[in-house]
Amino acid sequence: MPTLQSNGITIAYQTAGDPKAAPVLLVPGLGMQLSGWPEAFVDGLVELGFFVIRFDNRDCGLSTKFDEAGRPGLALTFLRSMLRWPRRSAYTLADMADDALGVLSALGVGKAHLVGASMGGVIAQALAAQHPGRVLSLTCIGTGGGRRGLAGASREARALLVRRPRNAQDLERQVEQMARTLRAIGSPAYPTPYKLLRQRVLQAIRRNVCAGGVERQLAALAAAGERGAELKAIRAPTLLIHGAADPLVPLACGADGARAIPGARLEVIEGMGHDLPAQLVERLLALIDAHAHGNMTLHSPPRLFEKQ
């Protein structure tokens, strides 16, 4: 796996497609490795004529870990966030946005389309607000606007997220816990077979799962607080895609983000949760492709993706 130096750390990355094609940077979500993007999604972007760049965020996958900063604990982070207590983090979302910008710079990419999933969308928003000259378009999938007072994650989703196997060395229990979590936050109308979820979890664990990194990333997200001013500063054409059945980041959060970003468009997908199900890959590709090329209007649907 190739690596590069960005913002003082080592970042693992992978590219696909023609380097001369329009670049699209995939920004992963909380604890999501670059391998978490469905291969059909990546291949589809390449076939649509994009140069795809994906990477591991700091504290995840094969990129630099911040274990020396300790573990803030998911339960405590959720509690502090809900009660609006002061929250400390080993790094900030701005640091993570600078990491992503550094990936583009290291690869000689001046401007790129950004596609972020969940927390990756928040990182992409920060990059777009802070460095508008480097962003061609912005697409956020399952991303909220950060405003306090809106509905949060469902009780089941929150409980599964903070729960950890008693024995971290018990691979079977670790796989079972993570697979149950993915099933709980997934798309009810587009379910992924449980056996396949377990296979994906096992592959992710074998590559490199860092539980402490997930906690520190979440702490950085919680410490960001209100982001209204940042969202209003975004000038890139923005598309927010949100599942109507998202139990982790409810639709109201995505709608709030769309209202805060000037000129943003919100696309709601019925039956979609907080994942990228195989059944929706073509629809997501069509939306991203139309948005990147400025072909989306309120009265004309984007063209469907078809394999060549």
Q: pLDDT averaged over consecutive 10-residue blocks of the chain (308 residues)? A: 95 98 97 97 98 98 96 63 59 96 98 98 97 98 80 72 69 91 95 96 95 91 85 96 95 93 95 97 96 71 40
Residues 276 and 41 sit within 8 Å (Cβ to Cβ): yes
Predicted local confidence at residue 299, as pLDDT = 45
Predicted local confidence at residue 303, as pLDDT = 42
Predicted local confidence at residue 297, as pLDDT = 56
Rounded CA-CA distance 40/242 in Å is 20
Order of strands across the sheet that contains 9-16: 3-6, 9-16, 50-55, 22-27, 112-117, 135-141, 238-243, 265-269
Predicted local confidence at residue 150, as pLDDT = 67
What is the token pair recorded at 53?
A: 């760049």
Predicted local confidence at residue 156, as pLDDT = 78
Predicted local confidence at residue 75, as pLDDT = 59
Q: Is the sign of the CA dihedral 71, 182, 9, 1 positive or negative?
A: positive
Counting every residue written for the chain, the total comes to: 308
Rounded CA-CA distance 22/200 in Å is 29
pTM for this prediction: 0.91
Predicted local confidence at residue 295, as pLDDT = 75
Q: Which CATH class is domain 3-292?
A: alpha beta
Q: Which residue ranges make up each domain of the chain? A: 3-292
Predicted local confidence at residue 168, as pLDDT = 66
Residues 42 and 73 sit within 8 Å (Cβ to Cβ): no
Q: What angle do CA 165, 167, 170 make, to 5 degrees?
A: 90
